[in-house]
C-alpha cells in the first residue's frame, strides 16, 4: 500500500509540479522583461526544467513511469526546448494542440487494434466490457480533438494573459469535468472484477 501511495504521489508531483511552476512563474515574473526574460518565456523555461527534473527524480527513486507518461514527456520537452531556442512562445502555445492530437490518434488506433490505450490512461485497475472500452475510447478521442481545436482557436486569438487563463481555467478543469462525466459509463460496463465493484 505504501508503495502504491508513493507512486500516486510521485505521479501527482510529476504531472502538476511543472504546471504549477509555469503558472506561478508567469504571474510573478516582471512584466518589463524582454526576450527570454518575458513572463511567457520564463514560465516555459521553468515548465521544461521541472518536467525534466521530475521525470529524472522518478527514475532516481526507483520508479518507472507509464509508457504514456514517457510519450507525453517526449513531446512536451522538445517543444519547450525548441520554443526557448527560437525565443518563440507560439511553439509552446501549440503544445496542448500537439499532445491532444497525438493522444486522439493513439487512443483511436489502439481501439481499432483491440488494445485500448485508454485503459492505461484511466487506470489498469478498471475492467470494462468490450463495449465499455469502445465507447470510452471514442469519447476520449473526441474530447482530445475538441481540446486541440479549442487551444488552436485560443492561442491564435488571445493575448498571453488570455491564453494562460484559458489553459488553466478552461482546458485543465475541462479534463476533470469530462472524466467525471464518464463515471456512469464506467459503472454501467464494469465487470464484476473491476475496482468499481470492489470499492463500491
- Residue 78 grid cell: 522538445
Burial class (CB in 10 A: 0-12, 13-18, 19+), 28: exposed
Q: What are the tens digits of pLDDT across the range 158-188?
A: 999 999 999 999 999 999 999 999 999 999 9
Q: What are the tens digits of pLDDT across the range 69-85?
A: 899 999 999 999 999 99
Residue 117, pLDDT above cutoff 90: no
Q: Identify the band that residue 125 occupies on the pLDDT scale cut at 50, 70 and 90.
A: low
**Which DSSP category does 171 fall into?**
I
Q: What are the tens digits of pLDDT across the range 138-157?
A: 999 999 999 999 999 999 99
Domain residue spans of the chain: 1-87, 94-200
Residue 115, pLDDT above cutoff 60: yes
Q: What are the tens digits of pLDDT across the range 79-108?
A: 999 999 999 999 999 999 999 999 999 999
Quote the distance between the C-alpha of residue 152 and its chain's center. 16
| pLDDT value, residue 19 | 95
Q: What are the tens digits of pLDDT across the range 21-34?
A: 999 999 999 988 88
Residue 5, pLDDT above cutoff 50: no
| pLDDT value, residue 2 | 47
Residues 44-49, mean pLDDT to the nearest whole number: 97
Q: Identify the band that residue 199 occupies on the pLDDT scale cut at 50, 70 and 90.
A: low
Is the CB of residue 21 less than 8 Å from the CB of residue 15? no
3-state SS record for 33-58: CCHHHCHHHHHHHHHHHHHHHHHHHH
Q: Could you tell me which residues come within 8 angstroms of residue 38 by beta carbon, excluding any fewer than 6 positions away? A: 29, 89
The pTM of this model reads 0.88
Mean confidence (pLDDT) of the chain? 90
Is the CB of residue 118 less than 8 Å from the CB of residue 104? no
| pLDDT value, residue 1 | 41
Residue 123, pLDDT above cutoff 70: no
Amino acid at each position: 500500500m505504501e508503495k502504491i501511495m508513493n507512486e500516486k504521489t510521485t505521479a501527482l508531483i510529476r504531472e502538476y509540479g511543472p504546471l504549477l511552476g509555469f503558472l506561478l512563474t508567469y504571474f510573478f515574473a516582471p512584466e518589463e522583461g524582454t526576450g527570454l526574460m518575458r513572463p511567457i518565456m520564463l514560465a516555459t523555461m521553468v515548465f521544461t526544467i521541472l518536467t525534466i527534473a521530475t521525470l529524472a527524480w522518478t527514475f532516481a527513486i526507483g520508479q518507472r513511469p507509464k509508457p504514456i507518461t514517457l510519450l507525453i514527456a517526449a513531446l512536451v520537452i522538445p517543444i519547450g526546448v525548441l520554443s526557448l531556442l527560437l525565443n518563440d512562445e507560439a511553439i509552446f502555445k501549440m503544445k496542448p494542440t500537439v499532445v491532444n492530437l497525438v493522444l486522439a490518434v493513439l487512443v483511436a488506433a489502439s481501439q481499432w487494434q483491440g488494445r485500448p490505450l485508454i485503459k492505461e490512461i484511466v487506470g489498469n485497475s478498471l475492467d470494462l466490457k468490450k463495449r465499455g472500452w469502445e465507447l470510452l475510447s471514442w469519447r476520449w478521442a473526441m474530447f482530445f480533438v475538441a481540446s486541440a481545436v479549442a487551444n488552436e482557436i485560443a492561442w491564435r486569438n488571445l493575448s498571453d494573459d488570455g491564453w494562460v487563463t484559458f489553459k488553466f481555467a478552461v482546458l485543465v478543469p475541462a479534463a476533470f469535468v469530462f472524466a467525471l462525466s464518464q463515471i456512469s459509463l464506467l459503472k454501467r460496463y464494469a465487470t464484476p472484477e473491476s475496482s468499481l465493484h470492489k470499492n463500491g
